[in-house]
Amino acid sequence: MDVQILTYLIVGLTFALYIGIAIWSRAGSTKEFYVAGGGVHPVVNGMATGADWMSAASYISLAGIVSFVGYDGSVYLMGWTGGYVLLALLMAPYLRKFGKFTVPDFVGDRYYSQTARTVAVVCAIFVSFTYIAGQMRGTGVVFSRFLDVEVETGVYIGMAVVFFYAVLGGMKGITYTQVAQYCVMIFAFMVPAIFLSIMMTGHFFPQIGFGSELLDANGNSSGVYLLDKLDGLSTELGFAEYTEGTKSIIDVFFITGALMFGTAGLPHVIVRFFTVPRVKDARSSAGWALVFIAIMYTTVPALAAFSRVNMIETVNGKDGQGIPHAEAPSWINNWERTGLITWDDKNNDGKMSYEAGPDNEMNIDRDIIVLATPEIANLPAWVIAIVAAGGLAAALSTSAGLLLVISTSVSHDLLKKNLMPDISDKKELMYARTAAAIGVIIAGYFGINPPGFVAAVVAIAFGLAASSLFPAITMGIFSKKMNKEGAIAGMVAGLSFTTIYIIYFKFINPADNLAENWLFGISPEGIGLLGMIINFTVAILVCRMTAPVPQDVKEMVEAIRFPKGAGQAQDH
């Protein structure tokens, strides 16, 4: 059975599973639509959180960026993983104790202001749409290669599937669908990594293979470590050493910080902790999620290194002199048809040449690395097919979580809690589904017209979350003195500064997006941390110049900080 038929079969079966789960777990009330009824088991919620958090950026693009840039790509590993620990320890239990449906719900009630709620809604929607652009592009990349359709058509198919189970099932449907998607995703990611580790180093566990010696043609130790081999290949081709970074220390620090604090401010991850019955369960599910996430994240560097060695040697040949394009392996021809690999024979010798600088003839999209790895290594056809299914599971799981944030922000926070307080539960549910449907359409547009490769787009979303929502949530939990004026001013200042900086360097004048032009040497991917500092600074200054917090709000904060009960999710 060839790869394409297998891919259709396996992807079709996984889609049928997701849709079947959505029908089985259809939400019948706003509580089921928003927080899955508040009764999800901690282990189940941990697995669903892992799938929600490990997006297409983690599955498709993270290993790709580590593979291409080496040490510099570690900022994504450090930032995202550290941010999840911060979220689990610093915020999840307290937000669960508060017992609300959404992040804007918390902000609105904690800061006793509809304006604060509305600003939080804008921040949540802004972050979610930026994030979802990367997921939809990931869906299109997978479909374009493995189902032999245009990227745009792939995005449309992904939209249809997400629309069905997100709009129908809400958080209840999404939770149990994400459990299935995590299982598909982690199996698909680990299988090729284990294959490669055994083939190249003789070790079953990729994490051990990553630090081991490579095998020679006879299956014996070559005496050359994997990373030493990569350093040598990189410098021979004019790239920086794989284990050395090119980014400045300040930029690495700010990117890592933006990703870390952005993770702790992501509304679609935070809302997962509202779905468990008790505060204790929120802590437990956070711990389980970290275990499930660690399985993939400790494997990423190994898979990236294995893939990099294989890719360079199959493009340039074992001798490094290049191979004729006419004799190129099938994986290059397959990906050329999608436009994600291009070859420009600059010296007219008919050979492919992949190197740094103006003489480079191969343009290889870094988002294809994970998806192309089984083909590059000549792994069995079923491995190629399951990797495609895993990529789709990663993109669709996070897309669904983000769409839920968008729909609940509109129906619950903007309409029910602000503009239309008297609407019935049934009507609110209808508005939530309508908002999700509109969100799918807008997300599809961003997927077809993305502002960059997947990991970079997602990094920007994390920066926006760090500069807007994280300070408001943190001060709302840990400071009884922070008032509504301070929180609102901080959110507006942080989000505005970060957005303007990113738009200028990414859209208005991308030619200026060079280190010498950045403020303090901070790239757009890292500017969210500076935006966060501005948010905190403005909030504290404005708070000191305005009216103090009412006594009942101080008592509410005290109750959140020292929880004595479960705090069921409630709509009031």
In angstroms, the Cα distances linking 186 to 291, 387, 391 are: 12, 10, 10
Provide the residue ranges of all domains of the chain, joining segments of one domain with +. Answer: 3-221+227-307+379-469, 314-372
pLDDT of the residue at 531: 94
Q: How many CA atoms lie within 13 A of 216 on its CB side?
A: 6
Specify the pLDDT at position 488.
93
Residue 36 has what pLDDT?
A: 57
- Three-point CA angle 58, 406, 134, nearest 5°: 30
- What's the pLDDT score for residue 100? 67
What pLDDT score does 565 carry? 47
Note the pTM of the prediction, 2 decimals: 0.77
Strand bridging mode 221-225 / 362-364: unpaired
Question: How many CB atoms within 10 Å of residue 287?
Answer: 14
User: Token pair 């983000």 is at which residue?
Assistant: 402
Which pLDDT value is given to residue 562?
67
Q: Which CATH number is correct for 3-221+227-307+379-469, 1.10.1740.10, 1.20.1730.10, 1.10.3720.10, 2.40.10.10?
A: 1.20.1730.10
pLDDT of residue 534: 96
How many Cα neighbours within 13 Å face the side chain of 188?
28
DSSP string, 257-273: HHHHHHHTT-HHHHGGG
The per-residue pLDDT for 101 is 63
Tens of pLDDT along the chain (572 residues) come to: 677 788 888 888 887 887 787 777 666 666 666 655 567 788 888 888 888 777 766 777 777 778 787 777 778 788 877 877 777 777 777 777 776 667 788 888 889 888 888 888 888 887 777 777 767 777 777 777 776 777 788 788 877 777 776 666 566 777 788 888 888 889 888 998 999 999 899 999 999 988 888 888 787 888 888 888 888 888 887 777 777 777 888 988 898 888 888 877 777 777 777 777 777 787 788 888 888 888 888 898 888 888 888 888 888 777 667 788 888 888 888 888 877 788 888 888 888 888 877 878 888 877 788 888 888 888 888 888 888 888 777 777 777 777 777 777 788 777 777 778 788 877 877 887 788 788 788 878 877 776 554 555 666 777 888 898 889 988 988 888 999 999 999 999 998 999 899 888 877 777 777 778 888 889 888 899 999 999 999 999 999 999 998 998 888 888 877 655 444 444 44
